Amino acid sequence: MSLSMWYDLCLLTLLSVLFIYIFFTVRITNLHKVYFIFHFFIMLWPLCQFATHVVQDLEVQFFFVSLSFASSLMLASGWLLFTLFLAGNTKRLNRKSVGLLFTPALLVSICVMINPLHSFASPAADNYINRTYGPLFWITLIVLTGYFLSSLVVLLRTLRSPASSRSLKKQIRIVLWGICVLVAFAGTDVILNVVLQDFLPIIPGLTSLGMFITDLFFVFVITRYKVFDLVTIAHEDIINTIPHGILVLDEEESVIETNRALHLFVDIEVGDTFDIETLLSSVRTGDNLQHFIAQYKLRETDLSEIELFSEQRNLHFILQTSPIFDAKRIPLGHIFIFRDVTQERSLVQELNRQNELLHEQNRSLDRTRLDLSLANRRLEELALTDSLTHCYNRYYLTQRLSQELNATAEQRLPFSLILFDIDFFKTINDRYGHVAGDEVLYRTAQAVKQCIRSTDILARYGGEEFMLYLPYTNNKTAKKIAEQVRYAVESNMVHLEQLVEPISVTVSVGVLSIQDLHHVQIGENMKEYLNFLFSEVDKPLYRAKKNGRNRVELADMTPLPDWPFKQSAHNN
């Protein structure tokens, strides 16, 4: 047995080991089955070469020789199919195209197996170990060359395509090295052992060695880059079912991965260059635009996001981005996530609109309450105010005194009452009419308001009579205020449109001062006590009128007479 026979057997064993290794170390998918078919045809070549040296029968030898070349044809066609899968061109494949792909290899294989007129190979020295080749052999080489050139074109196109990822390009380069090795060994085998066989000794096993080295390249690509990995395929299916748009960029901002949902947000394909500023300029952004761009360029923040609105697509979406680092924190690219929040924003806008309507209703209710409050206050003022003079009325004065006199008695504080009456008021009504009389009453009240303190209470007591309540005021201060009131009225000239000359009036004033209510226990007798005070202040007013009018008289309450219910108060 020759050395070349054991050489082919050794390569067959190594290929079998690789076959078993791949079978048990990778996840088996339909796509992996393509590789196993490809690997099977690689194993046929050294197997047939070994069998040719073992068997002695001439026909059996030719069977293994022809089978080895037929397997190489199927290997070439399987290799082309494998490269199509590797390049991601499986979408173009169907049963018809796959059948057309294998047709040339099948036809030539059948012709090789039949070997009509020894057009493929003839035995030399009564065996096919040493053989001569006919024209069908060269046709076989042409078909093989066509398959490998087609594979080479597919790989080079994929390598140059901007749509190919960096990882895929690395895989393509390794596979290209593998095919170059196979072509180099197979070409060397043809040149040395076929073309120059009459001049050089036979060098066996070159093609088998080339196939083995090429298969090592394929095994490296499959195990290192997980080509056709089930997990990778599952990941692609998962990201395509995610409702958010996903965009993956490399360090040169080229698109290397997208999912189906991305086209809802932006029109971009794998291989395009993504410009973040172009995207942001085409949509409406928030206030944090510059901060977002700065974080994106610095690549320091794990996650940055910004809310955008596309008027063209009528779409609200949140754009999130984070840098991609390797284990050494070297930046490799970016991942973008586009999350549609149009429905949420629509609900928020509707909620805001409803809230605004509710706020408007609340404001309307507040205005209504305010109007009611003002109306109630106005009604209260009307109930407590004299409509003619705009002073308080007698009812308000009585209520105010009823509230304060008990506290005044407990704290032993003084207070005073001033009662004044317009002199000869009936004459004014009779001479100028009641309209003029009303105007005199109003002007007189306004003149008095100008000369009293803010704490003093002016009330229309009845008719042309007015009363002043002076809290915390002793006799001396009360007399001074009374003189100010008398003088203010006397100095006030009332001009009427129907009269040429202004009207001047005077008042008669009576003053009552209570210095100490300590010994007076009013209790439930407030009404009787007030009537008592009103009658006492009326006395000096009567005396002022009797003594000539336009004057101030003080109540003569030394001693203050007992009032019917309790011990008398004392005047100071």
Q: 307 - beta bridge partners?
A: 318
CATH fold of the domain at 242-340: Beta-Lactamase (3.30.450)
What's the confidence (pLDDT) of residue 1? 45
What's the confidence (pLDDT) of residue 488? 95
Per the listing, tokens 């004299």 go with 386
What's the confidence (pLDDT) of residue 505? 93
What's the confidence (pLDDT) of residue 338? 93
Residue 460: helix, strand or coil by DSSP? strand
What's the confidence (pLDDT) of residue 571? 41
CA 567/CA 519 separation, integer angstroms:
6
CA 257, 263, 265, 269 torsion-angle sign: positive
What's the confidence (pLDDT) of residue 28? 54
Instruction: Show the tokens assigned to 155.
Output: 């790989």
CA 6/CA 203 separation, integer angstroms:
14
What's the confidence (pLDDT) of residue 349? 85
Closest by CA position to 189, among listed 204, 199, 177 = 204
Residue 467: helix, strand or coil by DSSP? strand
Q: 337 - beta bridge partners?
A: 246, 320
Phi, then psi, of 403 in degrees rounded to 5: -75, -35
Q: Do the domains spanning 3-233 and 242-340 agree at the CATH topology level?
A: no
Residue 116: helix, strand or coil by DSSP? helix
CA 173/CA 419 separation, integer angstroms:
118
What's the confidence (pLDDT) of residue 157? 84
CA 71/CA 37 separation, integer angstroms:
11
What's the confidence (pLDDT) of residue 27? 54
Q: In terms of CATH, what superfamily is 3-233?
A: Rhodopsin 7-helix transmembrane proteins (1.20.1070.10)
What's the confidence (pLDDT) of residue 486? 95
Strands (E), 399-523: 415-422, 457-462, 465-471, 493-494, 503-504, 507-514
What's the confidence (pLDDT) of residue 179? 78
Question: What's the distance, Cα to Cα, between the start and end of the chain in Å?
Answer: 155
The one-digit pLDDT tens for each residue of the chain (572 residues) are 455 555 555 765 776 676 666 655 655 555 566 666 666 777 777 777 777 777 777 788 788 788 888 888 887 887 787 777 767 666 666 778 888 888 898 898 899 888 888 888 888 777 777 778 889 888 988 988 898 888 888 888 888 877 776 767 777 787 788 778 878 887 887 787 777 777 777 677 677 777 778 777 767 766 665 555 545 555 666 777 888 889 898 888 888 888 888 888 988 888 788 888 888 888 888 777 888 888 888 776 678 888 888 888 888 898 989 888 877 777 888 899 999 998 888 888 889 999 999 999 999 999 999 989 888 887 877 788 888 999 999 999 999 988 888 777 677 788 999 999 999 999 999 988 899 999 999 999 999 999 999 999 999 998 999 999 999 999 999 999 999 999 999 999 988 887 788 889 999 999 999 886 655 566 677 888 889 899 999 999 999 999 999 999 999 754 444 555 444 444 43
CA 188/CA 211 separation, integer angstroms:
13
CATH fold of the domain at 392-554: Alpha-Beta Plaits (3.30.70)
Residues 6 or more apart whose Cβ sits within 8 Å of residue 7: 204, 205, 208
Closest by CA position to 512, among listed 419, 448, 435, 450 = 419
What's the confidence (pLDDT) of residue 570? 40
What's the confidence (pLDDT) of residue 226? 56
What's the confidence (pLDDT) of residue 258? 86
Domain residue ranges in the chain: 3-233, 242-340, 345-383, 392-554
* Exposure letters 123-137 (e unless 16+ CB within 10 A, then b): beeebbbebebeebb
* Residues acting as catalytic residues: 464
pTM across the whole model: 0.41
CA 332/CA 100 separation, integer angstroms:
42
What's the confidence (pLDDT) of residue 384? 86
CA 394/CA 424 separation, integer angstroms:
22
